[in-house]
Structure 1
Amino acid sequence: MAVGITERYLIAKRAAQEITRGMIVNLGIGIPTLVADYIPNDYGVMLHTENGILGMGPSPETGKEDGHLSNAGGFPVTIKKGASYFDSATAFGIIRRGYLDVTILGALQVSECGDIANWIVPGKRVPGMGGAMELAQKAKKVIVLMNHTSKDGSSKILKTCTLPLTAVKSANLIITEKAVFKVQDERLYLKEVMPGSSINDIVNSTDASVTICDSLTNGK
């Protein structure tokens, strides 16, 4: 079952809790773009985009979009005081040198050891991998935001990914509409139960092996 609008914002809001003051953060296409709206203005967080902005702000109000300002997905954005513009080569230099504290990505599949598959479904046309490969390998922390299951109800969190990989053993945290998992020592730990879900529901809808954290909490 696909994630509804309310659930998408719930996932984004929870992801924003992983961001602390002064971080440099990259937000991927899809649910990750919504995270910008939940970062407190006084945190001094600088959002980075592959198309050449450091200091991206939240989404603009309707009617106040600037056609010259967009994120890497082509959606309109605002900028914060102190923001800078640069070419894509510099944007990727920031990624490859390891300056990003956090990258938040979408995914098609994630394995229990943190492998990420997020760029192609065989037989379907896609625009390309984009910056996901570099982001998943070089950011200090990699957070994956995704719906827990596919449209046919099959799990997207697997023992082994069946789609072509973007990065190997790169995910640190996975947030879905059902749960928050941490990946540690190539194992998947259930860290938090999201509102409206239960441990049994999460375990039964996850193909990967799940270890329950001693410090398991209920999300808000």
Structure 2
Amino acid sequence: MNIKTIIAKRAAQEFKDCMVVNLGFGIPVMAANYIQEGVDVILQSENGVLSFGPNANLGEEDPTLCNAAGVPITSLPGCCIVDIDTSFLIIRGGHVDMTILGALEVDQEGNIANWAIPYADGRYGPGVGGAMDLLTGAKKVVVTTTHTTKEGKSKILKKCTMPLSAKGAVDLIITELAVMEVTTKGLVLKETAPGVTVKEVIQKTDADLIIPNEVCEMKVS
């Protein structure tokens, strides 16, 4: 099982009945493929889709129906397409119970940086998109990200160094190594992935972690 699948499967466990959930591009949209049996959620995409299902199989795509990442998706009974204004009214109006987003950096205070900065003269990476709206409009914010960069540097920091998308917005962080909860006392280590020790998580995390007496094992089967 690859890293992204581990994270997406664990993120899907946060879905609860009757939730309206927004999924960002990257690992978050993968979570739609792992919704647990018997859990009924309404998935919302900022491009104006409400009540969609897993990704479409090759050859069964509807070119007019895609998620925030532009990937073809399936529709569920009651699925509707709305304009972008209505989609953001849903988000800004506080009607999204949870959003799952990726991040470039996230810190122990719940601050998040998930949009790119200039990388050359007049050249920029991806824009902020709807992240700021989602981070302030959703009732719960879950971040899914690899624990470290390709260079092995921690993405879970004491303090973000990149321009922030939002301050103090993150509630839960899920990586391939651990699940961490942002609390008023600090960042609490809740779960470790199978085969991963608490010591390893601490070594690969720049942020200060609160270690409870019992740390559960992440379920990703």
Q: CA RMSD in A?
A: 1.3
Q: Which of 11, 14, 20 is the equivalent residue of 1:18?
A: 14
The 1:186–1:106 alpha-carbon spacing in structure 2 relative to 1, beyond 3 Å, is farther
Unpaired stretches in structure 2, ≥5 consecutive residues: none
- Cα shift readout 1:21-45 (whole Å, capped 9, x = no counterpart): 1110000010001100111364221
Q: In the alignment, residue 117 of structure 2 is paired with which amino acid?
A: V
Alpha-carbon offset, residue 134 of structure 1: 0.8
Alpha-carbon offset, residue 186 of structure 1: 5.5
Q: Which residue of 1 aligns with 2:183?
A: 184
Alpha-carbon offset, residue 206 of structure 1: 0.4
In the TM superposition, 1:23-38 aligns within 5 A as: 23-38=19-34
- Cα shift readout 1:46-95 (whole Å, capped 9, x = no counterpart): 10011111101100111111111111221111110011111000000000
Contact preservation (8 Å) 1:58, 1:78 = yes
In structure 1, what is the Cα distance between the partners aligned to 2:98 and 2:214? Answer: 23
Q: Which of 67, 74, 80 is the equivalent residue of 1:78?
A: 74
Structure 1 segments, 4+ long, off by >4 Å, are: none
In structure 2, what is the Cα distance between the partners aligned to 1:25 and 1:83? Answer: 14
Q: In the alignment, residue 217 of structure 1 is paired with which amino acid?
A: C
Q: Which of 104, 107, 114 is the equivalent residue of 1:108?
A: 104
Q: Which residue of 2 aligns with 1:165?
A: 164
Contact preservation (8 Å) 2:13, 2:36 = no
Percent of aligned pairs sharing the same letter: 48
Q: Which residue of 1 aligns with 2:84?
A: 88
Q: Which of 33, 40, 45 is the equivalent residue of 1:49?
A: 45
Contact preservation (8 Å) 1:178, 1:196 = no
TM-score (norm 2): 0.94
SS in 1 for 2:189: strand
Contact preservation (8 Å) 1:113, 1:186 = no
Contact preservation (8 Å) 1:109, 1:117 = yes
SS in 1 for 2:73: coil
TM-score (norm 1): 0.94
In structure 1, what is the Cα distance between the partners aligned to 2:158 and 2:133? Answer: 23
Alpha-carbon offset, residue 125 of structure 1: 2.0
In structure 2, what is the Cα distance between the partners aligned to 1:90 and 1:128? Answer: 21
In structure 2, what is the Cα distance between the partners aligned to 1:86 and 1:207? Answer: 42
In structure 2, what is the Cα distance between the partners aligned to 1:40 and 1:26? Answer: 17
SS in 1 for 2:58: coil
Alpha-carbon offset, residue 196 of structure 1: 2.6
